[in-house]
Structure 1
Amino acid sequence: MYTNHKLLLMILVLWSFELSGQVVFKGKVIDQNTSEPLAGVVISANNNEFAATNLNGEYSFNRSSDTTEVVFSYIGYEKKRLRNLSTKAVIKMTPSSTVLNQLVVSTNRFALDRSAAPVAISTISTELLEETKATRLDEVLNKVEGVYMVDLGNEQHTMAIRQPINYKGLFLYLEDGVPIRPTGVFNHNALLEMNMAGLRRIEVIRGPASSLYGSEAIGGAINFITLRPAAIPTGRLSVQGNTNGYRRVDFSGSNSFSKLGLGVYGYYANRTDGIRAHTDFDKLALTLKTNYIINDQNTLAFDVTRINYEADMTGNLDSAFFFSKDFTSQHTFTNRAVDALRTKIRYNHFWQNESKTMIAVFARENSIRQNPAYRVKDDYSPWGNPTGNKNLAHGEVNEDKVNSYGLVGQHTQQFTWLSGAQLSLGMNLDMSPNQFQAHYIAIHKNDEQVYADFAKTDSLLTNYEAQLRNIGTYVNWRMKLTDRLQISSALRYDRLNFDFKNHLDESAFSGAPDNADHFSAITPKVGLTYNFQPSNGLFINYSQGFLPPQISELYRGVKVPVLKPSVYHNYEIGGYFQLGKHLSFDMSMYQMNGENEIISVLLDNGSRENRNAGKTQHRGVEYGIKWLMGENVHFRLSGTNASHVFQDYKEDGADYSDNEMGQAPAWIANAELSYKPSFFKNFRASLEWQHVDQYYMDNGNTGTYPGYDIFNLRWGYELKNVEVWMNIMNATDQLYATVVRRSQWGDSYSAGEPRTWNIGMAYNFNNKQKQDR
């Protein structure tokens, strides 16, 4: 009996020592660059996983006091190894600069491993956004393989992804997975409505994404993923200006209070007295965000963004003005004003078996008011009206308004018992009443060929209302066939209804009769991925995209609209490879065939009519290389070699079959060499090269523009909470045009910016609480 009591006492004593050796560790894991909480970070020691962060980025675990090293792991981030972890710490994790096997959200609306997505997708990281110090989005988007975003001045732009440079609705722009404008009311300047100060990263899907997002996602879809409120108090204030009259102030602040996160992000930019005449502009962008973590399974997020933009519209230059570097403007009153307000509330539910449900309800207001330079036409022309008045021109002032409300919903179901299969079911509903009105203006052109002033008349060129209703449903299925081979398939049905009411009669410029048009399509997608090992794999896919006519193509400047949707078939093969820790490479080859493209046809009576005509073929190879050449030197190359050809295409009575499409460079490349010396901590320097190859200026292939090469230099330095930078854009002062077009009126050049020095300073307000050790 005595022996048994003695043994029990010894066990109790040893157990008490064991308990006394246990230490409670608590803290948060956040992103090094944004201070956002990271959910799902795996915490381990001695190769044994024992904890993970919750939706707030928080962790809590018990370990013995003699634990010497704790490892924090998260896809897309460098592993964090800490010795002597404090009992309460904020762990900052650094995004990896080379790992391709990262999480992406644009392929399935939820975070998904890159290796599971058989698509060509690229990510612009927070770090790249921060270091570029871009004053326009094209300065970062043009770093992506296959992308050429064309600068048209003052953040105005157009796009080319797997397409020539054009102004059609072939690209879909999203914010956190929700389109920023409704289908059918595409505007090539839509990214004016983005708040660059609130971006966390940008994901670019190249090729048709209609099976998930519907129409307009033909050349590609660009998803702007916004910042979430930080886990700790953070703030930033920056000022910058350049030698071309540009000034800008950025501001942000965010924090989390237990389960509630709050953030504000914005900037004000303006330009006056730039190198080019009539190029002043103002823009205010402001975003408010909140998120609330109800519990470990339910979250709510709300945001509202306001954009106010006004800019002069200088118009393009003819060849004489361009090559003589005469940047005076023929226009004195043309302008554009944009007001945009959008808001959404998103609910996420995470089920026990890792299944997920998302519902987002949104509302948008978009208004564009303009006196556009591209609508100004001379009364006199030697071929059309040789007796016209040389001091008279014609134009219009117009306003395009659209209000939207709708929802996006998706449920993703995991089937762990079926080789990790995943099924996603989704739908979207978009109700968008649209109004457009245009007044005729008579323009006085003086003897110096300057459009000096105008008189607005009561004459209405266009005055209509259109009710847009867009309903889409889709299903995605993903399943492993073997440990390395995975199949992914998707099918989507869309129906777009236009209920058109014209307030003008048939004799008007826009004389289309009242009508109800509808367009519907089923768009499939199927792909395979084969993974050799983590971060190394191949993919192949077929996808289809469709593009219904825009409202402006159906009803503006026409009498009887009879148009079919354009259809595109895309075939693609590609791969992504990580060679050690220092070199990564991704590549995709594609062929996309277009049918029923909408063109403007010149009729015998001199009027124009939109018609379906022609077939096109787009072929290319896109590639990206990231190479850590040494401890401090990083090289990046993004490029695309492509061919865009008319297979069957007639326009204005001319047959362009087998011609190269106009404004279609055969090679576009962007490369950058960055240096961060270890002996000079927090200093960076980079040299960037942007190349655009020669291309035909028109579909008739009658003349070529030789393209251009420009170089940009960037420096930056951080000292404690202060950051300073200097960028020299177009360092060699190259005369170049971002796009050149030829028409019966002559050659038209959109001049690129001359050499521009940009200098900025920022102060970061950081919380001083204890950081990781």
Structure 2
Amino acid sequence: MFSRHVILRGALLATCACAAATAVRAQDLRGSVEGVVLSADGDRPVPDAAVGIVGLGSHVSSDSSGRFVLSGVKFGSQRVEVRAVGYQPSALAVTVVPGEVTRVELRLKSAVVNLPEVIVSSSREEQLASTTPVSVGVIRGDEIRETRGHHPAEIVNRTPGVYVSNFGGEGHATAIRQPITTKALYAYLEDGVPVRSTGFFNHNALYEINIPQAGRLEIIKGPGTAVYGSDAVGGVVNAFTRDPSPRPEAEVFLEGGSTTYLRGLGSASTTAGRSGFRTDVNVTRADGWRDGTPYSRQSGTLRWDYALGDRSRLKTVASLSHIDQPGDGGGDLTAEDYAGLPSRSYSPIAFRRVMAARLSTELQVVGESSSFGATLYSRYND
């Protein structure tokens, strides 16, 4: 009996030893792959890229500097594949040496990705443009920055069915699927916050928003009174501020022209931990080509996003616009002045001096099948 126990115990120990040795040998036959994912056109790191070994189905994500580590990779010839939104997929053949680190550099070429258009203005919640029951025109942020319009009309008029007139400076009136008018038919918003109270309509309200530096414009071409009140009987223009960037960035744009026209646009943004920050500044001035038509604008926007969790965040926006425009130089001229003094103005009556300030904080909570949002804001118009 004793000898049988000894034999069984010995066999069990031998089996465990063999299994351990096999596991050690298998572990010795594996290595790791470390590297960085960069853009092919500028050596910029590509964060959140999916990197894995072809055929295994599992992936890791590159960090904010584009770096990644694949551990426990079987030795021999392998192919490392990488995918990232906005880039063409790529793969690289590598040779993994047991117990060693194989270092690689993966470069991705940019690609155009057509994502479904998402809008917010029709119901105050994100939804696909293809599923919304109203007609909504969208002007993307890259279009706005490429246009860099001097007047809101140069940007907003890119939308079919929408026309904004130019009264000089930034004076204007809007027409959305109907004749142009100065009546209270449209609601003007910034991040969903009305720029003016109901009943205090201003047909020049677009110059109270920093349109050239907006992140996106959504224009409802039809009644929006159920969501935005009586001012939206003819349509809604909703300008969204730009999101903070995941990495530090800064932009400066300067231009000048005749009649001492000068404009400077500046922007800076970064993200640190749970907080994202962005600031935009617009300074514009011109003497005007007709008598009594100087114009100046100073606008600024500060935005702070704070992630409360994976599905909730706070967004705080402070914006300020000051416009000084003594006149627009409108009116007819006599034949003599038209021929000899075309810059003359008989009726510089379009005096405009505007101070518009807003401060808002929005709470957004997104669940599996529902969402919640609330906005507190303060507004000043003079």
TM-score by length of 2: 0.77
Per the alignment, residue 278 of structure 1 pairs with 292
1:21 equivalent to 2:32? Answer yes
Matched residues in 2 for 1:27 and 1:259: separation? 24
Post-superposition CA distance 1:318-376 (Å, at most 9, x none): 3856994744211357521000110111222233x253222211110011xxxxxxxxx
What SS class does the counterpart of residue 13 from structure 1 fall into?
helix
Question: Following TM superposition, by how much is the alpha carbon of 1:276 offset from its aligned partner in structure 2, in angstroms?
Answer: 2.0
Post-superposition CA distance 1:558-604 (Å, at most 9, x none): xxxxxxxxxxxxxxxxxxxxxxxxxxxxxxxxxxxxxxxxxxxxxxx
Per the alignment, residue 300 of structure 1 pairs with 314
2:84 alignment partner AA = F
Q: 2:82 aligns with which of 66, 70, 84?
A: 70
Q: 1:127 aligns with which of 135, 142, 147?
A: 142
Per the alignment, residue 164 of structure 1 pairs with 179
Matched residues in 1 for 2:200 and 2:67: separation? 46
Matched residues in 1 for 2:366 and 2:333: separation? 60
Per the alignment, residue 192 of structure 2 pairs with 177
1:70 alignment partner AA = V
Per the alignment, residue 585 of structure 1 pairs with none
Q: 1:191 aligns with which of 186, 206, 223?
A: 206
When residues 125 and 59 of structure 1 are mapped into structure 2, their CA distance, relative to the original with a 3 A threshold, is farther
Q: Which has the higher helix share?
A: 2
- Over the aligned positions, Cα root-mean-square deviation in angstroms equals 3.9
Q: How does 1:432-511 map to 2 (within 5 A)?
A: none
Q: How does 1:197-212 map to 2 (within 5 A)?
A: 197-212=212-227
Per the alignment, residue 233 of structure 2 pairs with 218
Per the alignment, residue 138 of structure 1 pairs with 153
Q: 1:11 aligns with which of 13, 23, 47?
A: 23
Question: Following TM superposition, by how much is the alpha carbon of 1:197 offset from its aligned partner in structure 2, in angstroms?
Answer: 4.9
When residues 93 and 193 of structure 1 are mapped into structure 2, their CA distance, relative to the original with a 3 A threshold, is farther
1:81 equivalent to 2:89? Answer yes
Q: 2:381 aligns with which of 366, 390, 394?
A: 366
Per the alignment, residue 150 of structure 1 pairs with 165
Question: Following TM superposition, by how much is the alpha carbon of 1:236 offset from its aligned partner in structure 2, in angstroms?
Answer: 1.7
Per the alignment, residue 346 of structure 1 pairs with 362
Q: Which has the higher strand share?
A: 1
Question: Following TM superposition, by how much is the alpha carbon of 1:213 offset from its aligned partner in structure 2, in angstroms?
Answer: 2.4
1:81 alignment partner AA = P
What SS class does the counterpart of residue 140 from structure 1 fall into?
helix
Post-superposition CA distance 1:494-533 (Å, at most 9, x none): xxxxxxxxxxxxxxxxxxxxxxxxxxxxxxxxxxxxxxxx
Question: Following TM superposition, by how much is the alpha carbon of 1:208 offset from its aligned partner in structure 2, in angstroms?
Answer: 1.7
Q: 2:267 aligns with which of 235, 244, 252?
A: 252
Question: Following TM superposition, by how much is the alpha carbon of 1:92 offset from its aligned partner in structure 2, in angstroms?
Answer: 10
Question: Following TM superposition, by how much is the alpha carbon of 1:26 offset from its aligned partner in structure 2, in angstroms?
Answer: 8.9
Question: Following TM superposition, by how much is the alpha carbon of 1:188 offset from its aligned partner in structure 2, in angstroms?
Answer: 0.4
1:303 alignment partner AA = V
Post-superposition CA distance 1:262-312 (Å, at most 9, x none): 22211111111x222221011100111212223323322212111111102
What's the % identity of the aligned pairs? 25
Matched residues in 2 for 1:250 and 1:341: separation? 19
Question: Following TM superposition, by how much is the alpha carbon of 1:317 offset from its aligned partner in structure 2, in angstroms?
Answer: 1.9
Q: Are the counterparts in 1 of residues 266 and 281 from structure 2 also a CA contact under 8 Å?
A: yes
Aligned length: 349
Per the alignment, residue 8 of structure 2 pairs with none
Q: Are the counterparts in 2 of residues 271 and 280 from structure 1 also a CA contact under 8 Å?
A: yes
When residues 52 and 342 of structure 1 are mapped into structure 2, their CA distance, relative to the original with a 3 A threshold, is farther
Matched residues in 1 for 2:60 and 2:129: separation? 24
1:111 equivalent to 2:115? Answer no
- Long gaps (5+) in structure 2: 1-10, 94-102
Matched residues in 1 for 2:374 and 2:66: separation? 25
Q: Are the counterparts in 2 of residues 28 and 59 from structure 1 also a CA contact under 8 Å?
A: no
1:161 alignment partner AA = I
Q: Are the counterparts in 2 of residues 314 and 330 from structure 1 also a CA contact under 8 Å?
A: no
TM-score by length of 1: 0.40
Matched residues in 2 for 1:355 and 1:52: separation? 28
What SS class does the counterpart of residue 215 from structure 2 fall into?
strand
Matched residues in 1 for 2:202 and 2:316: separation? 26
Matched residues in 2 for 1:209 and 1:168: separation? 16
Q: Are the counterparts in 2 of residues 302 and 343 from structure 1 also a CA contact under 8 Å?
A: yes
1:248 alignment partner AA = R
1:225 alignment partner AA = F
The farther-off stretch of 83-92 and 122-131 is: 83-92
Question: Following TM superposition, by how much is the alpha carbon of 1:115 offset from its aligned partner in structure 2, in angstroms?
Answer: 2.4
Matched residues in 1 for 2:107 and 2:274: separation? 17
1:137 alignment partner AA = P
When residues 198 and 143 of structure 1 are mapped into structure 2, their CA distance, relative to the original with a 3 A threshold, is closer
Q: Are the counterparts in 1 of residues 145 and 212 from structure 2 also a CA contact under 8 Å?
A: no
Question: Following TM superposition, by how much is the alpha carbon of 1:82 offset from its aligned partner in structure 2, in angstroms?
Answer: 4.1
